[in-house]
Amino acid sequence: MASNSPSTARPGYTRTAVALHWLIALLIICGFALGWVMTDIPGFTPTKLKYFSWHKWIGVTVFALAIVRVIWRATHVPPSLPSDMPALQRIGAHAVHVVLYVLMFVIPVTGYLYSSASNIPVVYLGVVPLPRLIAPDPVLKETFKTLHVFLNDVLLALVVMHVLAVVKHQVLDRDGLLSRMLPFTK
């Protein structure tokens, strides 16, 4: 187990990258929790409709922040992984991050298309009506609903893997990777 002393500490992510990481993570957790709760409420109650609206607002916000995050990532080189990290772990870390980025875009889009196919408008923050991208269609509605739920399940599995990898690096490897993404260590 390698111990990371201050003299060998690796540079961290920028404050902007850290803020985007944690803000998007928090929004995804809230959106996921709302999705679980709202779908278990029977009928169409005012509470359920409010939760659906909040869930959609979160999705639109995650999509917008993901755009900012990708632009930031494209213009700012992230810190390198430890040189002694095995190649398979490097490949796995890269692959999981790529899929997480893809899901930050695809999940909100499938939810948005599900709303459009369901003939339910999306009014961002209750103020800005977003355009309907497809006509109402019961077949597409079910397709996008199934895809949206499936992709969220994939996201949950990847987030669990991501967190377990963080714990492994922090507890077993002690390589300082976690400190690079903590918001209050800058």
Domain boundaries, the chain: 12-180
Tokens of 2: 């390698």
Chunk the chain into consecutive blocks of 10 residues (it has 186) and report each block's average pLDDT, rounded to whole numbers: 41 90 96 95 94 97 98 92 88 94 98 97 96 96 98 96 90 81 72
In tens, the pLDDT along 78-116 reads 888 888 889 999 999 999 999 999 999 999 999 999 999
Three-state DSSP state, 159: helix
132, 152 Cβ separation under 8 angstroms: no
Do 136 and 116 contact (CB within 8 A), yes or no?
A: yes
Decide: pTM greater than 0.75: yes
Does domain 12-180 fall into CATH 1.20.950?
yes
Determine the pLDDT at residue 6: 39
Q: What is the pLDDT of residue 185?
A: 63
